[in-house]
Structures are given as structure tokens and as C-alpha cells.
Chains A and B, each alone.
Chain A
């Protein structure tokens, strides 16, 4: 009942206007490589201090929702994930755009984001206290195994060469050790220069490794950036809906995975979208078409990463432990506004909580019309701008975006170096995704391992610490499955082929 009252409160004309504004601003900022959801929210926080708490919350939720979704534009149209959680969107989104289906891909991403977002918000509303307890049962050891599991997904994701996938991941792991170690405080691989003290920032690495090679290729080849048919086909909404309805199981599964993984603080978005992507591919009829522009790939990742918005707020609001960096900023704003997390969430603070959830719900629904509209505009701009203008514009954005992440000029240099390196490696069959995965998962694995080791030594049994818990064992089993499944499958197929050949040979 309370919920309905507060939901209606959220619908006042002013709040509605703020939500519209927030979602629009979020989409635009999220679409620019390097301008992340965290930054969008952080810039807005002081503005919201002057507002009524309800309006402030609605606006913050709206801008966050918009920014996470907006990240899919750059992933699809320019092959550059705006946030780590959009990495897997590039796998099929960009190939779709290359062959002229960029508009369809954007529409699919919109539909998937709305579905995923709604599932996440529903989980936040109905299951928050329960799921928060699940989040707490993940300790350092579980995080260590989770990171290992994430790394094994590489074998599933590197179609052409598993070996090169692992080599790339190894390189990423090495990159992740640069800078001041969180545990131990050692300063590693900085060669005495303060430039590398802060380590290699993930988003600037993303921009470098994904976007710069595209730019170099754009300059090096005479062909147009994206194929265009010459006829405007609108937003292709009906076509998109048909594909989405066909992939409804995929959508729901991905949204559920997204919500589930997002409740783990720190691991969130990037793992969520990768897991749902590889799941979608595993159960598909023709797994080989993934990575070559299969619409289901876009559906899977986008449903998953927008589900992380609602999912990530579960530990943030219930436990006061932010699930993602933007959550941390919003939690900070809430604390300044006098909000306290904990059991009062659905009692004393119910007003604020329900308004916030209603605001997220509203923002997610607004994604559909706004996303289709802005998405079409973005697609048109990318295909109609001549290459001579497009390349410098994108290049400029990558530099500004990288600089803005942490006000650091050295990040720009690192981004450019990684970009050139990524382009060279690409020519030898090394894809950027394993490298970035190594970079993201390295610290999680390292910290989890050292903490687990210290815990094990204190309790007197290292073995029980690492292999004792049911969650650890489950994740270990999943890791083994993901490494060996492709081999088992290949062998089974070989045997089946053998059989048919033999069958034909015998009279």
C-alpha cells in the first residue's frame, strides 16, 4: 500500500520531468566513451542537495539507469564499451552494426535493457533483505574462486584460439599488478615513476584496447565505417520485438543472472554480462554464430547489465555496502541527506526507499521511448558523419573521456599506448577481451587469495579454508565445466560425425 502511495508521489509533474531529464542526460553521458555512470552521478550530486530528497533520489536513479544503458551505443556503433559491463555487448553488437544492422542492435539493446532493468528493480523491491544475506556469505575465498571462474570463461569466449585467450588474460593479469598493492602496500612495476603509482585504470584500458584499433583501421581502410543500405528503416521496433519474443527465455535468464551476480559488491557488472553471454551461447542451437552478429548475444548482455542497477542497490541499501562505484556515490549522497541503511529501510525510511525504487522503475520504463529516439539519432549521426570528421571526433572523445576519469593526463598516455599495442596484438589474433578480463579480475583474485591465505593460516587449515565451503566447491565445479565443456563437446561432435560416416559407409 505504502508502495503505491509513494509511487504516485514519484509521478508528480516535477519528478516526472526530472526523471526524463535524468534519463536523457544519463544516456548521452553513458554513450560517450570514458564518461561513465560514476561520473554522471558524481557531477549531479551537489545539484541534488538543493532539491527535495524525493526529487533528488529520482534524478540520481534516472541518470544512473540512463548511463548504464547509454554505454551500449558506443559498444555497438564504435566497438568501445563505455563501462566494463558493456564489454560483451561489443561481441555481437559491433558485427551487427558492421553489416548494416546497427539500428536493429540499438533497438534490441533498448528492449533488453528495459526487461533487465525491470527484473533488477523487482528483485530490489521484493527480495532485497534475503539476497543481501546471500551476498554476505561470499567471503575472500569465494571471491577468489569467482575471479578464477571469470578467467575460465575466456576459454569459452576465445573462439579461434584458447591458448591465445589465456595468453591475453595472463598479460591482463600482469597489467593489473602495476601500482600500489592493496594488500602488502608494495609498489610494483612503476619503475620509479609516480605516473604508474595509481595502476592502470580499467576504463582507460577499455577505451585504448577497443576503440583505438577501430580508429586505426578506419584511417587505414577506405571502406565506410558501417555498412549502410541507403534507406531509412526507422527504429525497426517490430523486428526487434519479434527477436526479443523469440529470445524471451534468454532475456529472463540473463536478467536473473545479472541480478544475482550484481548483489556481490565489487564483482558485479562485468562478470554478470559475461556469464549470461556465455550461457546464452552455450544453450543456443548454433553457438558458432555468436560473436559474428547474433542478436541474442546483444539481448543477453544488455539484459544482464541493466539488471545490475537494481541488483547492485540490494547490498547498498540493506547493508550499506555499495555494490558498484555509482552505488557508492549515491549512498554517499543518501548519507548526506540523512538517510540510514539497515532495517529501518522498509519501516522508518520506507518513504525514501519506496520513492527511490519507484523512481528506478519509472526511469527504466522511460528508457524505452527515450532510448529508441536517442538511439536512432545516435545511429544516424554515426552513419551520416563523413569519416574525415568521425575519426577526429571519436579520437577527441576518447582523450577527454580518459582524462576525465580521474583527472589524469598520464591515463591518456597509457590509454594510447595500450591502444597501439592492442591494434598490433589484434593482427596476431589476440583479442582485447581476455586482456581486459585479466585486468579486472586480477586484483579480485589476488586479494581474495591473500586474504584467504591469512584466514586459513589463522584457523590452522588452509585446505579447509579454500576447499571447505559449499559455495567455493560449486564455483570450482563451474570453472572446471567451463574449461572442459568445449573439449567434451568437440569430442562428442567428432564421435557423432564418425558414426554418420561409418553408417553411410556400411551397406
Chain B
């Protein structure tokens, strides 16, 4: 039967992720074989797309393939709770996202702790941004803040998920601007932008990437990055407007805790090399991402700094007391 042929293939694929060779790889000849890149979300999202862009360059540098797999569920929790059960030889890596890995474990029964996710590199972030529809009466951030101030709770924002980057951004902004808005969580950025385009909400907490994708239909009022994004030279940053907000959804890679130090360092080196490739940088910027190079040695400091910020927001959100 032809069917069983395809099946054997799938079985082999499945088995290869379960039973990886026992030999420990040396850092010098790492990677000795293809590297499995597990994305703890479904295909088609930003984690997937940015990983797809890395794929090509990984092969150029190492001669081995980067094979992308998906392990969706529980907003990433299903994947991260299994990370440390995977083969710790560096040939299995997993996508890692902030603020997810910090905020999720603050709730109960998340299945993993923040420390369980052993990050070795953070390579980019999608800066938070406030978007309105192109025909919206709100021309500037000040217009929107004014409206929210006059009628507390009436201005509605769509966003992706609860206790997510968008939720955190909204909480922080309410605090900084001293206004009350209504945040309406949707399942994913796609659904959130649909609500904005359909006029069901007045504004959206999104990212520069959303604006890049819907350039003709939305207006971005402010960007939570340190500098203006090259794609949107006319859109001010929050800092320029007097709100101390820099942040968004950060993406990186993690390995199981037992992975040898040298291998982690080598992985960090490879992905840093990808990050410096001008073509890769261009492709990422065109989609609205902002690159960052937080390598193996700096990850701990970076995480500590971010966690502190998230903790404040989590307290605001009522996630912890």
C-alpha cells in the first residue's frame, strides 16, 4: 500500500525526535546532525515566521538542517513543560517567548517554572504598538488618551490573550497615562486585528509587525521601541511622547538544562552569526521585527531585568499579590 509508505516516514520522523543518539556531541563538531527546532505554538504565527527566516541561514553556516516542529497548546505551556525531558545534546532546541515564560508560571498549574526554560539567545522582539483604523478620528496618541480620560472605560482595545504581552502593555500604559480603558482579549493577533478592522473596537494593542502587515488599513500611533522603526519613520516612540515604555514580545531559543555548556555557547554563536547577516536583518525588518543580540552570556541579566518589570505589571493585573 502506498499509504503505509508515507506512514513509515512519519513514524521515523516521530521516532527520531524521541530516540536521539546517546553520544554527546563535541562542541567543535557541533552540530553533527540536523537540529530539531520545536516551536511551542502552532504554525503561521510570528514565532513560526521568524524561525522560518533563520532556517535558511542556519543551513548555510552549519551545513546541517534546522527542522521546525510544532508543539502547540496552553499558550506555549505544553512545550515548555516538556523541554527538560528532551535530549540534552543541543540537537533539540525550543522557541522561547517573553513575557510568556515569566508570566505563565505565576498562575497556578502552569506545568513549568521560569527557571526550567534554559534560554541561550534572544534574537528579536516585536515592539508593542497602539494601532487604530486608518479612518479613525484619533490622529495622535494624545487624542486617544484625551478620549479615554473623558470617558473612563469606554475606549476599547483589542489584544491577543490574557496575561500576554498586549495585556501587560495595556496595564502599564493605563498606569503611565493615568487613564482607564477596556482591554478585550482575543485568540491571537489575527483575531485582534480583525476586530479592529471590523470596527468592533476603537484601538488595538498590537505590534509593529501587525502594522507592517496591514499598512494600508491601520495607523500606528506610537511604538514601544527605543528608536523609531525604519519601516515607520513618522511614527513616534512612546518615550518621545513622554511615556517610559519599551517592550513587546521577545523571542529566543532555549535548550534542556542538561545541555553541555560548550554546546550552548556554540549554539549562541551560530544564532548570533545569523543575526549579523545583513540579508537576514533586512528580511526581519521588512516584516516589522526589531533585532537584538542577547547571547548566552547576557541572557541571565536580560531576563532578570525584564522579570522585574513583568512582576510590577503582574501585580497590577492581579496575577500575584
Contacts and interface: CB of A to CB of B under 8 A. Distances in A.
Interface of A: 28-29, 31-32, 35, 38, 42, 45-46, 49, 135-140, 179-185, 187, 190, 192, 194, 197-199, 201, 265-266, 319-322, 325, 327-329, 331-333, 335-336, 338, 340-343, 377-378, 381, 393, 396-397, 400, 403-404, 406-408, 443, 447, 451, 454-455, 457-460
A130 to B, nearest CB: 15
B74 A381 contact: no
28 contacts: A28-B6, A35-B6, A35-B10, A42-B43, A49-B52, A136-B194, A136-B197, A136-B198, A140-B195, A182-B162, A183-B162, A185-B163, A187-B107, A194-B82, A194-B112, A198-B77, A199-B74, A265-B190, A329-B43, A342-B214, A397-B7, A400-B11, A403-B14, A406-B72, A407-B14, A407-B70, A447-B186, A454-B156
Contacts of B21: none
Contact of B107 (A185, A321, A327): A185
A28 B3 contact: yes
Interface string B172-207: 000000000010111100110111011111000000
B38 interface: yes
Interface in B265-291: 283, 286-287
Interface of B: 1-4, 6-7, 10-11, 13-14, 17, 38, 42-45, 48-49, 52-53, 55-56, 68-75, 77-78, 81-82, 107-112, 153-156, 161-163, 182, 184-187, 190-191, 193-195, 197-201, 213-217, 283, 286-287
A406 B70 contact: yes
A197 B140 CA distance: 41
**Residue among A179, A325, A335, A408 with the most chain B CB within 10 A?**
A335
A157 to B, nearest CB: 26
B213 A341 contact: yes
Contacts of B198: 136-139
B213 A182 contact: no
Contacts of B56: 49
Given A321-B194, A406-B70, A454-B182, A194 B44 contact: no
A42 B41 CA distance: 13
Contacts of B191: 265-266
A144 B7 CA distance: 39
Contacts of B38: 407
A342 B216 contact: yes
A191 to B, nearest CB: 9
Contacts of B70: 42, 406-407
Contacts of B4: 393
Contacts of B213: 320, 335, 340-341
